[in-house]
A and B are shown apart, each in its own frame.
Chain A
Amino acid sequence: MKLLRAYREKPVRAVPAAAVVLILILLGLLPGMTPPYTTIMVGSVLMYIILSLCWNMFSGATGYISLATAAFFGLGVYASAFLGGTLPLPALMLVGGAAASVLAFLIGLITLRLRGVYFTIFTLGIVKLLEQLILYLEIHFNNTRGRFVVSHSYTEVFYALYVLLILLLAAILIIRRSRFGKALICIAEGEDAAQHIGINATMVKVLAFTISAFAMGAAGAAMATRWSYIDPYIAFNANYSFLPVLMVIFGGSRYLPGPIIGAAIFAYLQELLTTRFPYIYMLAMGLIMIAAILFMPRGILGLIYDGVRKIHKRKEAKADDGS
Protein backbone atom coordinates (compact mmCIF):
# COMPACT_ATOMS: atom_id res chain seq x y z
CA MET A 1 0.00 0.00 0.00
CA LYS A 2 2.88 2.29 -0.73
CA LEU A 3 0.75 4.61 -2.83
CA LEU A 4 -1.97 4.94 -0.25
CA ARG A 5 0.54 5.65 2.45
CA ALA A 6 2.26 8.32 0.41
CA TYR A 7 -1.13 9.85 -0.12
CA ARG A 8 -1.90 9.97 3.57
CA GLU A 9 1.53 11.17 4.57
CA LYS A 10 1.10 14.38 2.63
CA PRO A 11 1.55 17.34 4.94
CA VAL A 12 -1.57 19.42 5.58
CA ARG A 13 -4.10 18.45 2.89
CA ALA A 14 -6.38 21.48 2.93
CA VAL A 15 -3.73 24.00 1.88
CA PRO A 16 -2.75 22.26 -1.40
CA ALA A 17 -6.43 21.73 -2.26
CA ALA A 18 -7.17 25.44 -1.79
CA ALA A 19 -4.07 26.33 -3.80
CA VAL A 20 -5.20 24.07 -6.66
CA VAL A 21 -8.64 25.66 -6.77
CA LEU A 22 -7.08 29.14 -6.72
CA ILE A 23 -4.68 28.24 -9.55
CA LEU A 24 -7.51 26.80 -11.60
CA ILE A 25 -9.61 29.96 -11.15
CA LEU A 26 -6.66 32.17 -12.11
CA LEU A 27 -6.00 29.96 -15.14
CA GLY A 28 -9.61 30.38 -16.22
CA LEU A 29 -9.20 34.17 -16.17
CA LEU A 30 -5.86 34.06 -18.00
CA PRO A 31 -6.91 34.60 -21.66
CA GLY A 32 -8.72 37.82 -20.81
CA MET A 33 -5.87 39.33 -18.83
CA THR A 34 -2.66 38.48 -20.69
CA PRO A 35 -1.22 38.92 -24.19
CA PRO A 36 -2.09 36.22 -26.78
CA TYR A 37 1.36 34.67 -26.60
CA THR A 38 0.90 33.76 -22.93
CA THR A 39 -2.43 32.09 -23.67
CA ILE A 40 -0.91 30.04 -26.47
CA MET A 41 2.05 29.04 -24.32
CA VAL A 42 -0.04 28.10 -21.31
CA GLY A 43 -2.29 26.16 -23.68
CA SER A 44 0.69 24.01 -24.66
CA VAL A 45 1.57 23.56 -21.00
CA LEU A 46 -2.00 22.38 -20.34
CA MET A 47 -1.66 19.85 -23.15
CA TYR A 48 1.46 18.35 -21.62
CA ILE A 49 -0.15 18.28 -18.17
CA ILE A 50 -3.09 16.34 -19.61
CA LEU A 51 -0.80 13.88 -21.44
CA SER A 52 1.35 13.37 -18.33
CA LEU A 53 -1.63 12.85 -16.02
CA CYS A 54 -3.10 10.33 -18.46
CA TRP A 55 0.17 8.48 -18.85
CA ASN A 56 0.56 8.30 -15.12
CA MET A 57 -3.02 7.13 -14.65
CA PHE A 58 -2.16 3.89 -16.42
CA SER A 59 1.64 3.42 -16.57
CA GLY A 60 2.48 5.10 -13.29
CA ALA A 61 -0.15 3.04 -11.52
CA THR A 62 0.45 -0.36 -13.11
CA GLY A 63 4.16 -0.23 -13.98
CA TYR A 64 3.51 -1.10 -17.63
CA ILE A 65 5.48 1.53 -19.54
CA SER A 66 3.34 2.58 -22.49
CA LEU A 67 4.76 4.59 -25.36
CA ALA A 68 1.44 4.66 -27.19
CA THR A 69 0.69 8.24 -26.09
CA ALA A 70 1.59 9.61 -29.51
CA ALA A 71 -0.72 7.08 -31.18
CA PHE A 72 -3.75 8.19 -29.13
CA PHE A 73 -2.84 11.84 -29.47
CA GLY A 74 -2.32 11.45 -33.22
CA LEU A 75 -5.67 9.74 -33.69
CA GLY A 76 -7.29 12.74 -32.03
CA VAL A 77 -5.37 15.05 -34.35
CA TYR A 78 -6.64 13.13 -37.37
CA ALA A 79 -10.19 13.13 -36.05
CA SER A 80 -10.07 16.94 -36.20
CA ALA A 81 -8.38 16.85 -39.60
CA PHE A 82 -11.15 14.72 -41.09
CA LEU A 83 -14.19 16.19 -39.33
CA GLY A 84 -13.07 19.76 -38.61
CA GLY A 85 -15.61 22.30 -39.85
CA THR A 86 -18.50 19.85 -39.80
CA LEU A 87 -18.53 19.45 -36.02
CA PRO A 88 -18.00 21.92 -33.15
CA LEU A 89 -14.81 21.65 -31.10
CA PRO A 90 -16.25 19.70 -28.12
CA ALA A 91 -17.73 17.13 -30.52
CA LEU A 92 -14.39 16.81 -32.29
CA MET A 93 -12.74 16.12 -28.95
CA LEU A 94 -15.36 13.49 -28.14
CA VAL A 95 -14.76 11.76 -31.46
CA GLY A 96 -10.98 11.96 -31.09
CA GLY A 97 -11.18 10.63 -27.56
CA ALA A 98 -13.52 7.84 -28.56
CA ALA A 99 -11.24 6.79 -31.43
CA ALA A 100 -8.25 6.73 -29.07
CA SER A 101 -10.23 4.74 -26.51
CA VAL A 102 -11.25 2.11 -29.04
CA LEU A 103 -7.62 1.71 -30.11
CA ALA A 104 -6.47 1.53 -26.48
CA PHE A 105 -9.13 -1.06 -25.69
CA LEU A 106 -8.00 -3.24 -28.59
CA ILE A 107 -4.29 -2.83 -27.75
CA GLY A 108 -5.05 -3.56 -24.11
CA LEU A 109 -7.04 -6.70 -24.82
CA ILE A 110 -4.39 -8.28 -27.00
CA THR A 111 -1.16 -7.06 -25.44
CA LEU A 112 -1.43 -6.57 -21.72
CA ARG A 113 -0.31 -10.17 -21.28
CA LEU A 114 3.04 -9.16 -22.83
CA ARG A 115 5.82 -8.85 -20.29
CA GLY A 116 7.59 -5.55 -19.45
CA VAL A 117 9.79 -4.48 -22.34
CA TYR A 118 7.74 -6.35 -24.96
CA PHE A 119 4.71 -4.24 -24.10
CA THR A 120 6.78 -1.06 -24.41
CA ILE A 121 8.18 -2.08 -27.80
CA PHE A 122 4.72 -3.01 -28.99
CA THR A 123 3.25 0.36 -28.06
CA LEU A 124 6.07 2.23 -29.80
CA GLY A 125 5.54 -0.03 -32.81
CA ILE A 126 1.86 0.98 -32.91
CA VAL A 127 2.83 4.67 -33.04
CA LYS A 128 5.25 4.09 -35.90
CA LEU A 129 2.86 1.77 -37.76
CA LEU A 130 0.05 4.33 -37.65
CA GLU A 131 2.42 7.09 -38.76
CA GLN A 132 3.71 5.13 -41.76
CA LEU A 133 0.35 3.59 -42.64
CA ILE A 134 -1.46 6.92 -42.71
CA LEU A 135 1.40 8.46 -44.67
CA TYR A 136 1.16 5.65 -47.21
CA LEU A 137 -2.62 5.90 -47.50
CA GLU A 138 -2.56 9.69 -47.84
CA ILE A 139 0.08 9.63 -50.55
CA HIS A 140 -1.50 6.79 -52.53
CA PHE A 141 -5.19 7.58 -52.26
CA ASN A 142 -5.34 11.31 -51.63
CA ASN A 143 -2.13 12.48 -53.30
CA THR A 144 -1.21 14.55 -50.25
CA ARG A 145 1.17 14.26 -47.38
CA GLY A 146 -0.62 16.44 -44.88
CA ARG A 147 -3.98 18.11 -44.38
CA PHE A 148 -5.28 21.50 -43.49
CA VAL A 149 -7.36 21.61 -40.34
CA VAL A 150 -10.26 24.03 -39.91
CA SER A 151 -8.79 26.19 -37.20
CA HIS A 152 -10.31 27.48 -33.99
CA SER A 153 -9.02 30.49 -32.08
CA TYR A 154 -6.31 29.89 -29.52
CA THR A 155 -8.63 31.12 -26.75
CA GLU A 156 -11.22 28.52 -27.72
CA VAL A 157 -8.55 25.78 -27.73
CA PHE A 158 -7.26 27.06 -24.41
CA TYR A 159 -10.68 26.74 -22.77
CA ALA A 160 -11.24 23.35 -24.38
CA LEU A 161 -8.02 22.06 -22.81
CA TYR A 162 -8.85 23.82 -19.55
CA VAL A 163 -12.22 22.12 -19.22
CA LEU A 164 -10.68 18.80 -20.28
CA LEU A 165 -8.06 19.16 -17.53
CA ILE A 166 -10.65 19.89 -14.85
CA LEU A 167 -12.75 16.89 -15.94
CA LEU A 168 -9.62 14.74 -15.96
CA LEU A 169 -8.62 15.85 -12.46
CA ALA A 170 -12.13 15.12 -11.21
CA ALA A 171 -12.04 11.69 -12.86
CA ILE A 172 -8.66 10.91 -11.28
CA LEU A 173 -9.88 11.94 -7.82
CA ILE A 174 -13.03 9.85 -8.17
CA ILE A 175 -11.04 6.84 -9.43
CA ARG A 176 -8.56 7.08 -6.56
CA ARG A 177 -11.35 6.72 -4.05
CA SER A 178 -13.24 3.99 -5.90
CA ARG A 179 -12.88 0.22 -5.78
CA PHE A 180 -11.45 0.46 -9.26
CA GLY A 181 -8.66 2.78 -8.12
CA LYS A 182 -7.82 0.56 -5.18
CA ALA A 183 -7.68 -2.42 -7.54
CA LEU A 184 -5.18 -0.51 -9.70
CA ILE A 185 -2.98 0.16 -6.69
CA CYS A 186 -3.17 -3.52 -5.75
CA ILE A 187 -1.99 -4.51 -9.21
CA ALA A 188 0.96 -2.15 -8.94
CA GLU A 189 1.89 -3.65 -5.58
CA GLY A 190 1.76 -7.20 -6.85
CA GLU A 191 -0.24 -8.44 -9.79
CA ASP A 192 -0.33 -12.09 -8.73
CA ALA A 193 -1.49 -11.23 -5.23
CA ALA A 194 -4.15 -8.92 -6.68
CA GLN A 195 -5.48 -11.74 -8.81
CA HIS A 196 -5.57 -14.05 -5.83
CA ILE A 197 -7.84 -11.75 -3.89
CA GLY A 198 -10.27 -11.76 -6.78
CA ILE A 199 -9.34 -8.73 -8.86
CA ASN A 200 -9.75 -9.24 -12.58
CA ALA A 201 -6.33 -7.74 -13.27
CA THR A 202 -6.53 -7.81 -17.07
CA MET A 203 -9.91 -6.07 -17.14
CA VAL A 204 -8.80 -3.39 -14.66
CA LYS A 205 -5.66 -2.69 -16.68
CA VAL A 206 -7.54 -2.55 -19.98
CA LEU A 207 -10.10 -0.18 -18.48
CA ALA A 208 -7.44 2.15 -17.06
CA PHE A 209 -5.63 2.15 -20.39
CA THR A 210 -8.87 2.93 -22.24
CA ILE A 211 -9.89 5.76 -19.92
CA SER A 212 -6.44 7.37 -20.03
CA ALA A 213 -6.38 7.18 -23.84
CA PHE A 214 -9.66 9.09 -24.08
CA ALA A 215 -8.25 12.35 -22.73
CA MET A 216 -5.09 11.94 -24.82
CA GLY A 217 -7.16 11.68 -27.98
CA ALA A 218 -9.35 14.61 -26.94
CA ALA A 219 -6.24 16.73 -26.31
CA GLY A 220 -4.94 15.83 -29.77
CA ALA A 221 -8.23 16.84 -31.38
CA ALA A 222 -8.12 20.22 -29.63
CA MET A 223 -4.47 20.94 -30.44
CA ALA A 224 -4.93 20.08 -34.13
CA THR A 225 -7.39 22.94 -34.57
CA ARG A 226 -4.73 25.34 -33.32
CA TRP A 227 -2.04 24.11 -35.74
CA SER A 228 -4.10 24.45 -38.95
CA TYR A 229 -1.77 22.11 -40.90
CA ILE A 230 -0.82 18.56 -39.90
CA ASP A 231 0.88 15.52 -41.43
CA PRO A 232 1.57 12.06 -39.98
CA TYR A 233 5.00 13.11 -38.71
CA ILE A 234 3.49 16.01 -36.76
CA ALA A 235 0.51 14.04 -35.44
CA PHE A 236 2.40 10.90 -34.43
CA ASN A 237 5.64 12.59 -33.32
CA ALA A 238 7.28 10.10 -30.95
CA ASN A 239 8.16 12.97 -28.61
CA TYR A 240 4.52 12.97 -27.48
CA SER A 241 5.25 9.49 -26.18
CA PHE A 242 8.64 10.23 -24.63
CA LEU A 243 8.18 13.66 -23.07
CA PRO A 244 5.25 12.79 -20.75
CA VAL A 245 7.31 9.87 -19.42
CA LEU A 246 10.15 12.22 -18.58
CA MET A 247 7.80 14.78 -17.05
CA VAL A 248 6.15 12.21 -14.80
CA ILE A 249 9.45 10.70 -13.69
CA PHE A 250 10.82 14.13 -12.93
CA GLY A 251 7.73 15.26 -11.04
CA GLY A 252 7.19 12.04 -9.14
CA SER A 253 4.73 9.44 -10.38
CA ARG A 254 3.46 8.46 -6.94
CA TYR A 255 1.88 11.77 -6.14
CA LEU A 256 -1.11 13.36 -7.81
CA PRO A 257 0.63 16.74 -8.28
CA GLY A 258 3.83 15.04 -9.51
CA PRO A 259 2.93 14.78 -13.21
CA ILE A 260 1.42 18.28 -13.11
CA ILE A 261 4.57 19.86 -11.70
CA GLY A 262 6.89 17.90 -14.02
CA ALA A 263 4.81 18.77 -17.07
CA ALA A 264 4.48 22.43 -16.14
CA ILE A 265 8.23 22.85 -15.65
CA PHE A 266 9.32 21.06 -18.82
CA ALA A 267 6.58 22.36 -21.09
CA TYR A 268 7.45 25.90 -20.01
CA LEU A 269 11.18 25.28 -20.54
CA GLN A 270 10.40 23.79 -23.93
CA GLU A 271 8.46 26.84 -25.05
CA LEU A 272 11.29 29.01 -23.79
CA LEU A 273 14.26 27.11 -25.19
CA THR A 274 13.31 24.99 -28.22
CA THR A 275 13.38 27.78 -30.74
CA ARG A 276 16.70 29.16 -29.61
CA PHE A 277 18.65 26.09 -28.46
CA PRO A 278 16.72 23.07 -29.76
CA TYR A 279 19.60 20.57 -29.54
CA ILE A 280 20.91 21.68 -26.18
CA TYR A 281 17.38 21.63 -24.78
CA MET A 282 16.78 18.05 -25.87
CA LEU A 283 20.24 17.05 -24.69
CA ALA A 284 19.53 18.50 -21.27
CA MET A 285 16.17 16.65 -21.22
CA GLY A 286 18.01 13.39 -21.78
CA LEU A 287 20.55 14.11 -19.05
CA ILE A 288 17.84 15.16 -16.59
CA MET A 289 15.86 12.01 -17.36
CA ILE A 290 18.89 9.82 -16.59
CA ALA A 291 19.73 11.78 -13.44
CA ALA A 292 16.11 11.70 -12.24
CA ILE A 293 15.89 7.92 -12.57
CA LEU A 294 19.21 7.42 -10.80
CA PHE A 295 19.04 10.00 -8.04
CA MET A 296 15.40 10.78 -7.37
CA PRO A 297 13.35 7.66 -8.02
CA ARG A 298 10.27 9.31 -6.49
CA GLY A 299 10.70 12.52 -8.42
CA ILE A 300 11.17 16.05 -7.25
CA LEU A 301 8.06 15.83 -5.06
CA GLY A 302 9.52 12.78 -3.35
CA LEU A 303 12.60 14.85 -2.52
CA ILE A 304 10.48 17.71 -1.20
CA TYR A 305 8.28 15.45 0.93
CA ASP A 306 11.38 13.73 2.33
CA GLY A 307 12.78 17.14 3.23
CA VAL A 308 9.55 18.22 4.90
CA ARG A 309 9.40 14.98 6.88
CA LYS A 310 12.97 15.46 8.07
CA ILE A 311 12.19 18.95 9.33
CA HIS A 312 9.08 17.60 11.12
CA LYS A 313 11.15 14.87 12.75
CA ARG A 314 13.77 17.34 13.87
CA LYS A 315 11.05 19.52 15.41
CA GLU A 316 9.56 16.51 17.19
CA ALA A 317 12.98 15.54 18.47
CA LYS A 318 13.47 19.04 19.81
CA ALA A 319 10.06 18.98 21.47
CA ASP A 320 10.93 15.65 23.06
CA ASP A 321 14.18 17.09 24.40
CA GLY A 322 12.33 20.02 25.94
CA SER A 323 9.79 17.90 27.85
Chain B
Amino acid sequence: MLVKLFNILSSGLIMGGVYAIIAMGMSIQYGVARILNVSHGEFIMVGAFLTFMLVKLHVNPLLAMVIISPAMFLVGFVLHRTVYKKLSDVSGSASTFESNSMLISFGLMFVLQNIGLQVWGSQQQAYPFLLTSVRILGTAIALNRMVVLLFAVAISLLFYLYLQKTRLGKAIRAVSQDAGSAALMGIKTHRVGAISFGIGAVLAGCAGSLISIINQFNTSMGMSYTIIAIIVVVLGGMGSVLGSLLGGFILGFIGTLVNYIDPSLSLVAYYLIIIVLLLVKPSGLMGGKS
Protein backbone atom coordinates (compact mmCIF):
# COMPACT_ATOMS: atom_id res chain seq x y z
CA MET B 1 0.00 0.00 0.00
CA LEU B 2 2.72 2.39 1.01
CA VAL B 3 4.70 1.42 -2.05
CA LYS B 4 1.67 2.11 -4.27
CA LEU B 5 1.11 5.46 -2.64
CA PHE B 6 4.75 6.33 -3.16
CA ASN B 7 4.49 5.29 -6.80
CA ILE B 8 1.49 7.53 -7.36
CA LEU B 9 3.19 10.40 -5.59
CA SER B 10 6.41 10.12 -7.57
CA SER B 11 4.64 9.74 -10.93
CA GLY B 12 2.36 12.63 -10.08
CA LEU B 13 5.35 14.75 -9.21
CA ILE B 14 7.12 13.96 -12.49
CA MET B 15 4.02 14.53 -14.63
CA GLY B 16 3.21 17.63 -12.64
CA GLY B 17 6.67 19.08 -13.20
CA VAL B 18 6.38 18.70 -16.96
CA TYR B 19 2.80 20.03 -16.97
CA ALA B 20 3.93 23.03 -14.95
CA ILE B 21 6.57 24.00 -17.52
CA ILE B 22 4.09 23.58 -20.37
CA ALA B 23 1.48 25.67 -18.62
CA MET B 24 3.88 28.41 -17.54
CA GLY B 25 4.83 28.87 -21.18
CA MET B 26 1.21 29.20 -22.27
CA SER B 27 0.42 31.40 -19.31
CA ILE B 28 3.13 33.97 -20.02
CA GLN B 29 2.10 34.12 -23.67
CA TYR B 30 -1.51 34.79 -22.75
CA GLY B 31 -0.81 36.98 -19.75
CA VAL B 32 1.64 39.32 -21.44
CA ALA B 33 1.08 39.07 -25.18
CA ARG B 34 -2.70 38.39 -24.91
CA ILE B 35 -2.33 35.44 -27.27
CA LEU B 36 -4.00 32.17 -26.35
CA ASN B 37 -1.49 30.09 -28.24
CA VAL B 38 -3.34 26.91 -29.15
CA SER B 39 -0.30 25.83 -31.17
CA HIS B 40 1.66 25.52 -27.92
CA GLY B 41 1.52 21.72 -28.13
CA GLU B 42 2.99 21.91 -31.62
CA PHE B 43 6.00 23.79 -30.24
CA ILE B 44 6.37 20.95 -27.70
CA MET B 45 6.26 18.44 -30.55
CA VAL B 46 8.92 20.39 -32.46
CA GLY B 47 11.07 20.50 -29.32
CA ALA B 48 10.77 16.73 -28.86
CA PHE B 49 11.71 15.99 -32.47
CA LEU B 50 14.61 18.44 -32.60
CA THR B 51 15.94 16.75 -29.46
CA PHE B 52 15.44 13.38 -31.11
CA MET B 53 17.40 14.51 -34.18
CA LEU B 54 20.30 15.65 -32.00
CA VAL B 55 20.16 12.45 -29.95
CA LYS B 56 20.58 10.50 -33.18
CA LEU B 57 23.80 12.50 -33.66
CA HIS B 58 24.91 11.21 -30.22
CA VAL B 59 24.18 14.43 -28.38
CA ASN B 60 23.00 14.11 -24.78
CA PRO B 61 19.27 15.02 -24.75
CA LEU B 62 19.75 17.41 -21.86
CA LEU B 63 22.47 19.19 -23.80
CA ALA B 64 20.18 19.12 -26.83
CA MET B 65 17.57 20.96 -24.79
CA VAL B 66 20.09 23.73 -24.14
CA ILE B 67 21.08 23.84 -27.80
CA ILE B 68 17.56 24.15 -29.19
CA SER B 69 16.35 26.73 -26.67
CA PRO B 70 17.83 29.77 -28.48
CA ALA B 71 16.32 28.53 -31.73
CA MET B 72 12.90 28.17 -30.11
CA PHE B 73 13.20 31.66 -28.66
CA LEU B 74 14.07 33.10 -32.03
CA VAL B 75 11.11 31.42 -33.72
CA GLY B 76 8.70 32.70 -31.06
CA PHE B 77 10.20 36.19 -31.06
CA VAL B 78 10.18 36.58 -34.85
CA LEU B 79 6.67 35.14 -35.08
CA HIS B 80 5.42 37.75 -32.67
CA ARG B 81 7.30 40.58 -34.35
CA THR B 82 5.91 39.72 -37.78
CA VAL B 83 2.54 37.95 -37.67
CA TYR B 84 1.16 39.12 -34.34
CA LYS B 85 2.54 42.65 -34.80
CA LYS B 86 0.69 42.88 -38.10
CA LEU B 87 -2.43 41.50 -36.44
CA SER B 88 -2.38 44.09 -33.68
CA ASP B 89 -2.06 46.76 -36.38
CA VAL B 90 -5.20 45.58 -38.17
CA SER B 91 -7.22 44.74 -35.04
CA GLY B 92 -9.38 47.58 -33.82
CA SER B 93 -9.77 46.62 -30.19
CA ALA B 94 -8.10 44.44 -27.58
CA SER B 95 -10.90 41.88 -27.67
CA THR B 96 -10.75 41.58 -31.48
CA PHE B 97 -7.02 41.03 -31.16
CA GLU B 98 -7.58 38.35 -28.54
CA SER B 99 -10.02 36.31 -30.60
CA ASN B 100 -8.15 36.83 -33.88
CA SER B 101 -4.80 35.92 -32.34
CA MET B 102 -6.36 32.69 -31.13
CA LEU B 103 -7.61 31.97 -34.65
CA ILE B 104 -4.13 32.67 -36.01
CA SER B 105 -2.62 30.19 -33.60
CA PHE B 106 -5.14 27.64 -34.88
CA GLY B 107 -3.68 28.26 -38.33
CA LEU B 108 -0.20 27.95 -36.88
CA MET B 109 -1.21 24.64 -35.32
CA PHE B 110 -2.11 23.26 -38.77
CA VAL B 111 1.13 24.61 -40.23
CA LEU B 112 3.50 23.27 -37.57
CA GLN B 113 1.81 19.90 -37.22
CA ASN B 114 1.87 19.24 -40.93
CA ILE B 115 5.44 20.41 -41.34
CA GLY B 116 6.21 17.89 -38.59
CA LEU B 117 4.29 15.13 -40.36
CA GLN B 118 5.97 15.95 -43.65
CA VAL B 119 9.49 16.05 -42.21
CA TRP B 120 9.39 13.43 -39.45
CA GLY B 121 6.56 11.13 -40.49
CA SER B 122 3.77 9.83 -38.31
CA GLN B 123 5.40 6.90 -36.44
CA GLN B 124 5.80 6.70 -32.67
CA GLN B 125 9.37 7.45 -31.65
CA ALA B 126 11.41 6.87 -28.52
CA TYR B 127 15.05 6.54 -27.56
CA PRO B 128 16.86 5.04 -24.58
CA PHE B 129 18.47 7.38 -22.07
CA LEU B 130 19.63 6.56 -18.50
CA LEU B 131 17.65 3.35 -18.30
CA THR B 132 19.08 2.25 -14.95
CA SER B 133 16.92 2.67 -11.89
CA VAL B 134 17.59 4.01 -8.43
CA ARG B 135 15.99 2.75 -5.22
CA ILE B 136 14.37 5.33 -3.01
CA LEU B 137 12.55 4.20 0.16
CA GLY B 138 12.40 0.67 -1.15
CA THR B 139 10.85 1.44 -4.56
CA ALA B 140 12.69 1.51 -7.83
CA ILE B 141 12.45 4.70 -9.90
CA ALA B 142 13.99 4.98 -13.35
CA LEU B 143 16.93 7.34 -13.30
CA ASN B 144 15.72 9.19 -16.41
CA ARG B 145 12.45 10.06 -14.68
CA MET B 146 14.35 11.42 -11.69
CA VAL B 147 16.50 13.54 -13.99
CA VAL B 148 13.43 14.87 -15.77
CA LEU B 149 11.82 15.80 -12.46
CA LEU B 150 14.99 17.59 -11.33
CA PHE B 151 15.24 19.54 -14.55
CA ALA B 152 11.55 20.40 -14.55
CA VAL B 153 11.78 21.80 -11.03
CA ALA B 154 15.03 23.61 -11.87
CA ILE B 155 13.56 25.22 -15.00
CA SER B 156 10.43 26.30 -13.13
CA LEU B 157 12.48 27.84 -10.31
CA LEU B 158 14.82 29.55 -12.73
CA PHE B 159 11.92 31.00 -14.66
CA TYR B 160 10.18 32.16 -11.50
CA LEU B 161 13.33 33.81 -10.16
CA TYR B 162 13.90 35.43 -13.55
CA LEU B 163 10.46 37.03 -13.39
CA GLN B 164 10.93 38.14 -9.78
CA LYS B 165 14.50 39.38 -9.78
CA THR B 166 15.51 40.77 -13.16
CA ARG B 167 14.59 44.09 -14.71
CA LEU B 168 13.06 42.45 -17.76
CA GLY B 169 11.14 40.08 -15.49
CA LYS B 170 9.65 43.06 -13.72
CA ALA B 171 8.70 44.60 -17.05
CA ILE B 172 7.01 41.35 -18.06
CA ARG B 173 5.01 41.26 -14.84
CA ALA B 174 4.09 44.89 -15.22
CA VAL B 175 2.72 44.40 -18.74
CA SER B 176 0.76 41.34 -17.64
CA GLN B 177 -0.86 43.29 -14.81
CA ASP B 178 -1.76 46.41 -16.77
CA ALA B 179 -0.40 46.92 -20.26
CA GLY B 180 -1.69 50.48 -20.55
CA SER B 181 -0.02 51.74 -17.40
CA ALA B 182 3.15 49.79 -18.17
CA ALA B 183 3.38 51.61 -21.49
CA LEU B 184 2.97 54.93 -19.70
CA MET B 185 5.90 53.99 -17.42
CA GLY B 186 8.08 53.74 -20.52
CA ILE B 187 7.97 49.97 -21.00
CA LYS B 188 8.01 48.95 -24.64
CA THR B 189 5.00 46.65 -24.38
CA HIS B 190 5.29 45.23 -27.89
CA ARG B 191 8.91 44.28 -27.34
CA VAL B 192 8.11 42.74 -23.97
CA GLY B 193 5.24 40.87 -25.62
CA ALA B 194 7.59 39.46 -28.27
CA ILE B 195 10.13 38.43 -25.63
CA SER B 196 7.41 36.75 -23.59
CA PHE B 197 6.16 34.90 -26.63
CA GLY B 198 9.74 33.74 -27.26
CA ILE B 199 10.12 32.60 -23.65
CA GLY B 200 6.86 30.67 -23.96
CA ALA B 201 8.26 28.91 -27.02
CA VAL B 202 11.47 28.08 -25.13
CA LEU B 203 9.47 26.57 -22.26
CA ALA B 204 7.48 24.51 -24.79
CA GLY B 205 10.75 23.33 -26.37
CA CYS B 206 12.21 22.35 -22.98
CA ALA B 207 9.03 20.46 -22.13
CA GLY B 208 9.30 18.68 -25.48
CA SER B 209 12.89 17.62 -24.72
CA LEU B 210 11.93 16.33 -21.26
CA ILE B 211 8.87 14.49 -22.59
CA SER B 212 10.98 12.83 -25.29
CA ILE B 213 13.26 11.41 -22.57
CA ILE B 214 10.53 9.60 -20.64
CA ASN B 215 7.65 9.10 -23.10
CA GLN B 216 6.99 7.95 -26.62
CA PHE B 217 6.26 10.84 -28.94
CA ASN B 218 4.82 11.41 -32.42
CA THR B 219 4.04 14.34 -34.65
CA SER B 220 0.32 14.46 -33.79
CA MET B 221 0.83 14.68 -30.04
CA GLY B 222 0.58 18.48 -29.97
CA MET B 223 -3.16 18.86 -29.50
CA SER B 224 -3.31 16.71 -26.36
CA TYR B 225 -0.54 18.72 -24.71
CA THR B 226 -2.20 21.97 -25.76
CA ILE B 227 -5.34 20.84 -24.00
CA ILE B 228 -3.40 19.86 -20.89
CA ALA B 229 -1.77 23.29 -20.94
CA ILE B 230 -5.16 24.98 -21.28
CA ILE B 231 -6.58 22.94 -18.38
CA VAL B 232 -3.65 23.82 -16.14
CA VAL B 233 -3.73 27.46 -17.12
CA VAL B 234 -7.47 27.71 -16.46
CA LEU B 235 -6.97 25.79 -13.21
CA GLY B 236 -4.25 28.13 -12.03
CA GLY B 237 -5.79 31.31 -13.40
CA MET B 238 -5.12 32.75 -16.85
CA GLY B 239 -1.90 34.69 -16.87
CA SER B 240 -0.80 33.71 -13.37
CA VAL B 241 2.60 32.00 -13.57
CA LEU B 242 2.55 30.83 -9.96
CA GLY B 243 -0.96 29.49 -10.53
CA SER B 244 0.32 27.49 -13.51
CA LEU B 245 3.09 26.00 -11.41
CA LEU B 246 0.61 24.97 -8.74
CA GLY B 247 -2.01 23.85 -11.27
CA GLY B 248 0.59 21.71 -13.09
CA PHE B 249 1.31 19.67 -10.00
CA ILE B 250 -2.37 19.41 -9.07
CA LEU B 251 -3.26 18.09 -12.52
CA GLY B 252 -0.22 15.80 -12.43
CA PHE B 253 -1.49 14.16 -9.24
CA ILE B 254 -5.11 13.98 -10.41
CA GLY B 255 -3.96 12.50 -13.73
CA THR B 256 -1.80 9.85 -12.06
CA LEU B 257 -4.57 8.98 -9.61
CA VAL B 258 -7.22 8.56 -12.31
CA ASN B 259 -4.70 6.67 -14.42
CA TYR B 260 -4.16 4.32 -11.49
CA ILE B 261 -7.89 3.71 -11.06
CA ASP B 262 -8.76 3.32 -14.76
CA PRO B 263 -6.36 4.47 -17.51
CA SER B 264 -9.10 4.78 -20.12
CA LEU B 265 -10.86 7.37 -17.97
CA SER B 266 -7.94 9.80 -17.69
CA LEU B 267 -8.83 11.87 -20.77
CA VAL B 268 -12.50 11.93 -19.79
CA ALA B 269 -11.45 13.19 -16.36
CA TYR B 270 -9.28 15.93 -17.87
CA TYR B 271 -12.06 17.29 -20.06
CA LEU B 272 -14.55 17.03 -17.24
CA ILE B 273 -12.21 19.04 -15.02
CA ILE B 274 -11.88 21.86 -17.52
CA ILE B 275 -15.62 22.06 -18.18
CA VAL B 276 -16.58 22.06 -14.51
CA LEU B 277 -13.81 24.55 -13.81
CA LEU B 278 -14.93 26.96 -16.52
CA LEU B 279 -18.46 26.80 -15.18
CA VAL B 280 -17.65 27.16 -11.50
CA LYS B 281 -14.62 29.42 -11.38
CA PRO B 282 -13.36 30.60 -14.77
CA SER B 283 -10.83 32.90 -13.10
CA GLY B 284 -8.95 29.90 -11.66
CA LEU B 285 -7.32 29.25 -8.31
CA MET B 286 -4.88 32.15 -8.32
CA GLY B 287 -6.75 34.46 -10.69
CA GLY B 288 -8.28 37.67 -9.48
CA LYS B 289 -11.45 38.98 -11.04
CA SER B 290 -13.00 36.97 -13.84
Contacts and interface: CB of A to CB of B under 8 A. Distances in A.
Given A118-B282, A290-B83, A293-B103, A279 B268 contact: no
Given A279-B117, A280-B118, A128 B103 contact: no
A242 B113 CA distance: 14
B242 to A, nearest CB: 20
A280 B110 CA distance: 10
Contacts of B264: 135-136, 139-140
A320 B107 CA distance: 46
Contact of A280 (B114, B272, B282): B114
Contact of A294 (B86, B117, B272): B86
Interface of A: 63, 65, 110-111, 114-118, 120-122, 124-126, 128-129, 132-133, 135-136, 139-140, 238, 242, 245-246, 249, 279-280, 282-283, 285-290, 293-294, 297
Given A132-B271, A279-B117, A289 B106 contact: yes
B134 interface: no
B102 interface: yes
Identify whether the interface residues of B are mostly helix, strand, loop, or mixed.
helix
Given A121-B278, A125-B274, A136 B103 contact: no
When A and B form their complex, which 9 residue pairs have the shortest distance between CB atoms, in order from nearest? A286-B110, A289-B107, A286-B111, A129-B271, A283-B114, A290-B107, A279-B114, A286-B107, A132-B267
B95 interface: yes
Interface of B: 36, 83, 86-87, 90, 95, 98-100, 102-104, 106-115, 117-118, 223, 227, 230, 234, 264-265, 267-268, 271-272, 274-275, 278-279, 282, 290
Given A65-B103, A124-B227, A132-B267, 4 more contacts: A128-B227, A245-B103, A285-B107, A288-B107
Given A116-B99, A289-B106, A293-B107, A129 B268 contact: yes
B122 to A, nearest CB: 9
Nearest to A249: B103
B102 A65 contact: yes
A246 to B, nearest CB: 8
